[in-house]
């Protein structure tokens, strides 16, 4: 077994190299590298001495903890000798007492504590099952220790030797060592190997990807000259050393059986590393089962270079055209890259010191890793060189020493893993990293003053030596995103209602299209004026420079319009040892914007006053041609930027327009940027092929306001009639999607006097439902039929008064198709300026008592009771549920600016996939409200794009069979109400495991049993269809977001037709809602020639009469459903669809014995020997001849023929 070489250095030197905090980790010749790592046996005199000093521990322990700690051990020992029965009644142990105390004081519920414990069990890895990994590490240690020194050689020689002899291309960072370089390259065996990172701390967690086992290989100091820290010389020699290590590992005779490749450490192109994958050959060194990779990281001692030479203000890379008297700008990121190569062991020592005194630290790091991983920040692959678990752990260690109020400690060593995690997240959410850099330790050297770090780095988290900025690669944008996530996490921790464990630890939250309100895909520009030779020496990666520069500009320009701006990009992938590393010049970055919903749509961006010349100059440089001096109403003259807009849609896209302008002004980017923000508006407005003379384009600018105003005016008009009515109107309630801002299309006014000018394809008028309540009276009849007649008489009186007093046309309609004698029947349609139809119904709560009396009457027949129940359900739907729902949704739309547009686009999506007959509008509205009210793990959507993608994500991932949706619409739902909804759901599933009702269960304060909007629709079959379509749409959105093309977004709304049994093609010119079609034929609006020769002119078909809610296609669907509903599932897009799709219901169409009363058009069938249908349609002559058919099945051919006869005049053809 390989041993760590500690004899090559004196003890004092080792201690100095690791910093004052700790000594060599594994410095005993008898201690095996992997055994020590697995057992956590690290010798550290500093740590041991601090453990002996218990003064700090005493201060941190509470009085209860001290009492528990002092419990006599003898008593516990004696209890072990008692019988099993007596053991049940033993006093709780110290650990149990601590657990009980923690549960009662820290957690909002006992379940949360149990969930954390269970999570830790699930994510921990078994360190005892790493024998193959241990063997590889042993052999690698031995291989490196036995390696021979290589003579000095020039850059050209080592490149040639490596390429010719070992097939390895040295990963020199660009531009590579010059051909005439005077310095030489050589190799000597490593001074030592150290296991670093999370593995030796036992803080690794299971994940989808293999975890990392980091091995720091310390290069000898003698390889470097005094000034090798300058001009990339250190990095060139480091790259050569890494290549030699790779050649040793790849040696066919002495090497290791592993697959090796190069990669970058934290995406830093200056610091390549080796990645070792298992061989997969099932040999003794095949560590595939360990589910990890080994990362070999070259390091140096902290004494190799003078640390002050690598301070944040120093320049260590001379530009090509530099002259002796030229100005040299600092290279802080270059310097930090070198310094970070000296800190691996000292950082581990720092964490291990606290881990020995804080037993819960490792588990806290594990919880942090899971939390960060779900947010795409847990590892270098996801963090892209920015924030990751290591930084989080170092901050946690810092808080164990300070960070609290009045200079005290934020965290205590006696804290549990939950307390440590929560305390660190709380610190992250509140600390101002811009103003207060975080110093784990401080240096006396003036070069490392706080102001020097603040001037040269966006974020500073300085290690225990006080010299190395561990956060040199973290941008302000990344930290802003981390702090945003931390703030959300704290709100989950503090929430008293509901368990947010899933949102914190189990739900992935790193999908950009779900995370961002606006998303921009940008190709990095070829050239940037600001990316000059001075920036290039410190930012060798143009993409990283562009990302930081872009975020800086946007933060300055967008101010409080955004809560967070961040950039993400693809991580550089590992590459083969024999290939050169190449930076992708056409690389893309993804800009995510999380909008501030209160400020994002502000029209004016105010700048400095005219008197402040310097600030004004900066403002004009920032905004370019958009900046202008303006005088405002208060008399002030200020620099400003104004974005003129018309309507809510354009205002919601102001931030997109600002970003587009800034990209072009500062980077010359126009076509290279694709925005995902406003494309969806195209699908909730009329298509471009529809002539504007048939609708008002201006409605897009005013939205729902004209309809709202018309409703208010009508209400006043109705109330003015009180003196001429038998009873005064007590209340007028809205009960329509239009009046709660949730109809798919904005309400279009119609010219009632010239309806004959509209083609049939644009003649649909959707009424706006209104409920009238009159003052109470005892004169209403006690007979339900008489009540309906009296209500219609009232409506006739209202119609008469409206005509006489205001000249308003209206009509009373008796719903003669309503066959239930107890049901409400009749309404008043009012044609009201500027062109809307309001449908008024009268609410009379006396009907409830009359209907309940029929239900409860023991003398009544079962049929009458059933009819009474159906009538009661209809009554509550129109007069209670609709009103309450309208009130709630209108309030929510006012609270969340993006909710209205989200509801509209989601309804459009449902209908475009032909689901209109199977899902109610209210159900869709509640789905949309859920993603705003229960937005975890994100904040509430701030745009139509994020709202739409979140709803699709909900539908795609909702385990509706086992989980209800619980909506706290009013924000006052109690825990008891939530428990009641869950209990009702569980009882329902136990009673109805086949989900014949409530397949998708939605409960709220006013609907604890989920019966209002999700009882019958959608069915189990439709729910499965919805989920399948949502998953496909989510995948298509990924492509659409990348392209930004409206056509790609349109594919999300195109449904596959191959899954249906038959397609009924309608005559588009007879579809009165065809104007709402996604892709309508323009000829059907402009051509005077009928599309079908047997039809008369479309403009003359309906004449001048006003037809309200006249939709032949919908009537046909209803008729098919009524007649054939047991055997057929019809699908249709009510918003202009010209196809009705048919699916034979598989639950009811199986062959069955023939009966006279079977109730459907049947055909004889035979079964083969395997029980399968042999043939579906058999000629009657054959049946009569053979006489062997005993089963019948639904005669689909005949049913389709019947449907074709029913739909004569609107059906063009039927396809099978």
Annotate 650-671 with three-state secondary structure. Answer: HHHCHHHHHHHHHHHHHHCCCC
pLDDT at 43 over 60: no
pLDDT value at residue 586: 66
Q: Which one, of 366, 422, 414, lies nearest residue 393 by Cα?
A: 366
Label residue 208 by pLDDT band (50, 70, 90): confident
pLDDT at 167 over 90: yes
pLDDT value at residue 96: 52
Label residue 914 by pLDDT band (50, 70, 90): very high
pLDDT at 558 over 50: yes
Residue-wise pLDDT tens digits, 602-616: 999 999 999 999 999
Average pLDDT over residues 582-588: 75
Which residues face 604 on adjacent strands? 642
Q: Which one, of 374, 348, 372, 373, lies nearest residue 361 by Cα?
A: 348
Label residue 89 by pLDDT band (50, 70, 90): low
pLDDT at 772 over 60: yes
Residue-wise pLDDT tens digits, 250-268: 988 888 889 999 999 988 9
pLDDT at 64 over 70: no
pLDDT at 19 over 50: no
Label residue 1 by pLDDT band (50, 70, 90): very low
DSSP-assigned states of every residue in 27-84: --TTSBHHHHHHHT----HHHHHHHH--HHHHHHS-HHHHHHHTS-HHHHHHHTTS-H
Average pLDDT over residues 708-721: 95
Domains of the chain: 532-603+643-677 (3.30.70.3020), 687-878 (3.30.460), 896-1044 (no CATH), 1060-1079+1111-1216 (3.30.70.3030)
Task: Pick the more confident residue, 1089 or 395.
Answer: 395
pLDDT at 1083 over 70: yes
Cα separations in angstroms, 1036 against 266, 677, 951, 956, 1039: 31, 16, 15, 13, 5
Label residue 1154 by pLDDT band (50, 70, 90): confident
CA triple 651-656-661, angle to 5 deg: 115
DSSP element (H, E) containing 588? strand 588-595
Residue-wise pLDDT tens digits, 656-712: 999 999 999 999 998 888 898 888 999 999 999 999 888 888 899 999 999 999 999
Cα separations in angstroms, 623 against 104, 650, 675: 55, 20, 20
Alpha carbons 1013 and 1007: distance in angstroms, whole number: 9
pLDDT value at residue 48: 39
pLDDT at 537 over 50: yes
Average pLDDT, the chain: 86
pLDDT at 935 over 60: yes
Cα separations in angstroms, 96 against 68, 93, 114, 1104: 10, 5, 14, 83
| Percentage of the chain exceeding pLDDT 70 | 86
pLDDT at 5 over 50: no
Average pLDDT over residues 432-439: 92
Q: What is the CA radius of gyration of the chain?
A: 37
pLDDT value at residue 68: 33
Least reliable range by pLDDT among 436-440, 917-921, 1153-1157: 1153-1157
772: which 2 tokens? 């009238």
Report yes or no: 571 and 384 within 8 Å, Cβ to Cβ: yes
Measured torsion, CA atoms of residues 316, 318, 323, 324, in degrees rounded to the nearest 10 = 20
| Percentage of the chain exceeding pLDDT 90 | 65
DSSP-assigned states of every residue in 500-568: -HIIIIIS----HHHH-SEEEEEEPPS--TT--HHHHHH---HHHHHHHHHHHHHHHHHGGGEEEEEEE
Report yes or no: 845 and 872 within 8 Å, Cβ to Cβ: no
pLDDT value at residue 110: 65
Task: Give the CA count within 13 Å in the CB-facing half-sphere of 912.
Answer: 22
DSSP element (H, E) containing 392? helix 389-399
Largest CA distance in the chain: 113
Residue-wise pLDDT tens digits, 109-119: 568 888 999 99
Residue-wise pLDDT tens digits, 785-831: 999 999 999 999 999 999 999 899 999 999 988 889 999 999 999 99
- Indicate the SS3 state at residue 246: helix
Long-range contacts of 655-660 (CB under 8 A, 24+ apart): 655/518, 655/558, 655/561, 655/562, 655/593, 655/595, 655/600, 656/518, 658/557, 658/558, 658/561, 658/605, 659/518, 659/520, 659/554, 659/558, 659/591, 659/593
Alpha carbons 1094 and 1091: distance in angstroms, whole number: 9
Label residue 310 by pLDDT band (50, 70, 90): very high
pLDDT at 1009 over 80: yes
Residue-wise pLDDT tens digits, 954-975: 999 999 999 999 999 988 888 8
Residue-wise pLDDT tens digits, 490-519: 999 888 776 789 999 999 998 999 999 999
Label residue 2 by pLDDT band (50, 70, 90): very low
Task: Pick the more confident residue, 233 or 495.
Answer: 233
Task: Pick the more confident residue, 1 or 616.
Answer: 616
Report yes or no: 1091 and 1049 within 8 Å, Cβ to Cβ: no
656: which 2 tokens? 């997109």
Report yes or no: 294 and 275 within 8 Å, Cβ to Cβ: yes
Label residue 1097 by pLDDT band (50, 70, 90): very low
Label residue 94 by pLDDT band (50, 70, 90): low
This prediction's pTM: 0.86
pLDDT at 885 over 80: yes
Label residue 1179 by pLDDT band (50, 70, 90): very low
Residue-wise pLDDT tens digits, 368-423: 999 999 998 875 444 455 789 999 999 999 999 988 877 789 999 999 999 999 99
pLDDT value at residue 38: 42
């Amino acid at each position: 077994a390989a041993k760590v070489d500690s004899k090559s250095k004196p003890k004092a030197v080792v201690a100095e190299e690791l910093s004052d905090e700790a000594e060599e980790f594994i410095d005993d010749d008898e201690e095996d590298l992997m055994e020590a790592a697995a057992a956590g046996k690290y010798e550290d005199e500093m740590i041991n001495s601090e453990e002996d000093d218990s003064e700090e521990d005493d201060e941190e322990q509470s009085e209860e903890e001290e009492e528990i700690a002092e419990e006599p051990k003898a008593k516990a020992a004696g209890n072990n000798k008692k019988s099993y029965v007596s053991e049940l009644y033993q006093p709780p142990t110290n650990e149990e007492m601590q657990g009980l105390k923690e549960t009662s004081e820290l957690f909002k519920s006992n379940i949360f504590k149990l969930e954390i414990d269970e999570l830790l069990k699930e994510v921990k890895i078994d360190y005892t099952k790493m024998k193959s990994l241990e063997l590889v590490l042993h052999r690698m240690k031995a291989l490196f220790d036995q390696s021979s020194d290589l003579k000095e050689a020039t850059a050209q020689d080592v490149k040639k030797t490596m390429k010719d002899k070992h097939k390895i291309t040295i990963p020199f960072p660009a531009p590579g060592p010059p051909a005439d370089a005077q310095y030489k390259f050589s190799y000597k065996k490593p001074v030592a190997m150290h296991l670093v990172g999370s593995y030796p701390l036992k803080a690794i967690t299971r994940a989808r990807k293999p975890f990392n086992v980091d091995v720091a290989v310390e290069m000898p100091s003698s390889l470097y000259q005094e000034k090798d820290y300058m001009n990339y010389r250190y990095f060139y020699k480091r790259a050569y050393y890494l290549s030699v290590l790779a050649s040793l590992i790849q040696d066919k005779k002495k090497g290791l059986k592993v697959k090796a490749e190069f990669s970058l450490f934290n995406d830093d192109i200056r610091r390549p590393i080796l990645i070792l994958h298992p061989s997969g050959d099932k040999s003794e060194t095949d560590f595939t089962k360990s589910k990890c990779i080994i990362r070999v990281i070259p390091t140096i001692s902290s004494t190799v270079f003078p640390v002050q030479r690598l301070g944040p203000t120093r320049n260590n890379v001379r530009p090509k055209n530099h002259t002796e008297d030229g100005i040299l700008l600092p290279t802080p990121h270059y310097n930090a890259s070198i310094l970070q190569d000296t800190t691996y062991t000292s950082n581990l020592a720092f964490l291990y010191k606290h881990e020995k005194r804080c037993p819960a630290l490792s588990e806290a790091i594990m919880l942090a890793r899971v939390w960060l991983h779900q947010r795409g920040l847990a590892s270098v692959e996801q963090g892209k060189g920015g924030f990751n678990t290591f930084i989080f752990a170092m901050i946690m260690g810092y808080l164990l020493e300070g960070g609290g109020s009045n200079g005290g400690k934020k965290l205590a060593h006696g804290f549990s893993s939950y307390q440590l995690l929560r305390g660190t997240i709380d610190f992250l959410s509140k600390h101002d990293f811009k103003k207060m850099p975080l110093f784990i330790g401080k240096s006396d050297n003036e070069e490392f003053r706080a102001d020097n770090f603040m001037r040269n780095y966006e974020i500073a988290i300085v290690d225990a030596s006080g010299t190395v900025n561990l956060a040199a690669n973290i941008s302000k944008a990344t930290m802003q995103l981390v702090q945003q996530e931390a703030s959300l996490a704290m709100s989950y921790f503090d929430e008293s209602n509901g368990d947010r464990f899933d949102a914190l630890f189990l739900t992935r939250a790193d999908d950009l299209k779900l995370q961002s309100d606006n998303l921009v895909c940008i190709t990095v520009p070829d050239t940037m004026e600001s990316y000059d030779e001075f920036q290039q020496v410190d930012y060798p990666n143009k993409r990283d420079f562009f990302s930081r520069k872009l975020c800086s500009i946007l933060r300055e320009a967008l101010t409080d319009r955004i809560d967070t701006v961040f950039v993400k990009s693809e991580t550089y992938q590992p590459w083969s040892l024999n290939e050169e590393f190449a930076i992708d010049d056409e690389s893309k970055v993804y800009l995510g914007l999380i909008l501030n919903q209160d400020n994002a749509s502000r029209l004016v961006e105010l700048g400095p006053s005219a008197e402040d010349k310097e600030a004004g100059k900066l403002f004009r440089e920032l905004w370019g041609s958009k900046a202008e001096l303006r005088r405002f109403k208060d008399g002030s003259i200020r620099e400003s930027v104004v974005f003129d807009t018309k309507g809510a849609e354009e205002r919601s896209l102001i931030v997109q327009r600002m970003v587009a302008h800034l990209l072009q002004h500062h980077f010359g980017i126009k076509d290279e940027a694709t925005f995902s923000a406003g494309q969806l508006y195209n699908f909730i407005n009329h298509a471009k092929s529809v002539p504007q003379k048939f609708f008002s384009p201006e409605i897009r600018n005013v939205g729902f306001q004209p309809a709202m105003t018309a409703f208010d005016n009508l209400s006043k008009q109705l109330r003015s009639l009180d003196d001429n009515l038998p009873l005064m109107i007590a209340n007028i309630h809205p009960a329509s999607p239009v009046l709660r801002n949730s109809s798919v299309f904005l309400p279009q006014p119609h010219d009632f006097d010239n309806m004959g000018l509209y083609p049939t394809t644009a003649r649909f008028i959707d009424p706006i439902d209104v409920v009238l309540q009159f003052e109470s009276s005892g004169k209403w009849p006690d007979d339900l039929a008489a009540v309906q007649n009296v209500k219609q008489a009232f409506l006739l009186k209202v119609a008469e008064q409206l005509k006489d007093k205001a000249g308003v046309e209206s009509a009373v309609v008796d719903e003669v198709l309503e066959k239930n004698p107890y049901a409400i029947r009749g309404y008043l349609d009012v044609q009201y300026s500027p062109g809307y139809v309001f449908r008024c119904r009268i609410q009379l709560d006396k009907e409830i008592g009359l209907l309940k009396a029929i239900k409860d009457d023991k003398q009544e027949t079962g049929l009458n009771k059933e009819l009474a129940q159906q009538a009661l359900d209809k009554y509550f739907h129109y007069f209670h549920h609709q009103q309450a729902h309208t009130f709630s949704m209108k309030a929510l739309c006012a609270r969340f600016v993006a909710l209205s547009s989200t509801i509209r686009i989601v309804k459009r999506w449902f209908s475009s996939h032909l689901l209109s007959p199977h899902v109610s509008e209210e159900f869709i509205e509640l789905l949309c409200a859920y993603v705003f009210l229960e937005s975890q793990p994100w904040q509430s959507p701030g745009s139509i794009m994020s709202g739409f993608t979140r709803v699709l994500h909900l539908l795609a991932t909702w385990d509706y069979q086992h989980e209800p949706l619980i909506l706290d619409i009013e924000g006052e739902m109690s825990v008891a109400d939530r428990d009641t909804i869950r209990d009702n759901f569980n009882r329902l599933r136990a009673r109805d495991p086949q989900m014949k009702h409530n397949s998708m269960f939605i409960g709220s304060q006013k609907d604890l049993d989920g019966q209002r909007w999700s009882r019958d629709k959608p069915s189990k079959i439709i729910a499965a269809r919805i989920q399948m379509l949502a998953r496909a749409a989510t995948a298509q959105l990924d492509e659409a977001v990348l392209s930004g093309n409206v056509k790609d977004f349109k594919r999300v709304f195109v449904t596959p037709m191959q899954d249906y049994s038959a397609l009924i093609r309608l005559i588009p010119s007879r579809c009165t809602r065809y104007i709402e079609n996604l892709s309508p034929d323009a000829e059907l609006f402009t051509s005077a020639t009928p599309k079908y020769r047997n039809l008369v002119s479309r403009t003359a078909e309906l004449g001048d009469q006003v037809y309200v809610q006249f939709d032949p296609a919908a009537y046909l669907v209803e008729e098919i459903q009524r007649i054939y509903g047991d055997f057929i599932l019809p699908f249709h897009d009510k918003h202009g669809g010209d196809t009705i799709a048919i699916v034979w219901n598989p639950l009811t169409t199986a062959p069955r014995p023939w009966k006279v009363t079977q109730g459907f058009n049947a055909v004889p069938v035979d079964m083969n020997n395997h029980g399968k249908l042999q043939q579906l349609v058999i000629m009657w002559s054959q049946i009569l001849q053979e006489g062997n058919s005993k089963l019948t099945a639904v005669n689909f051919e005949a049913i389709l023929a019947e449907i074709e006869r029913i739909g004569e005049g609107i059906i063009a053809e039927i396809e099978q």
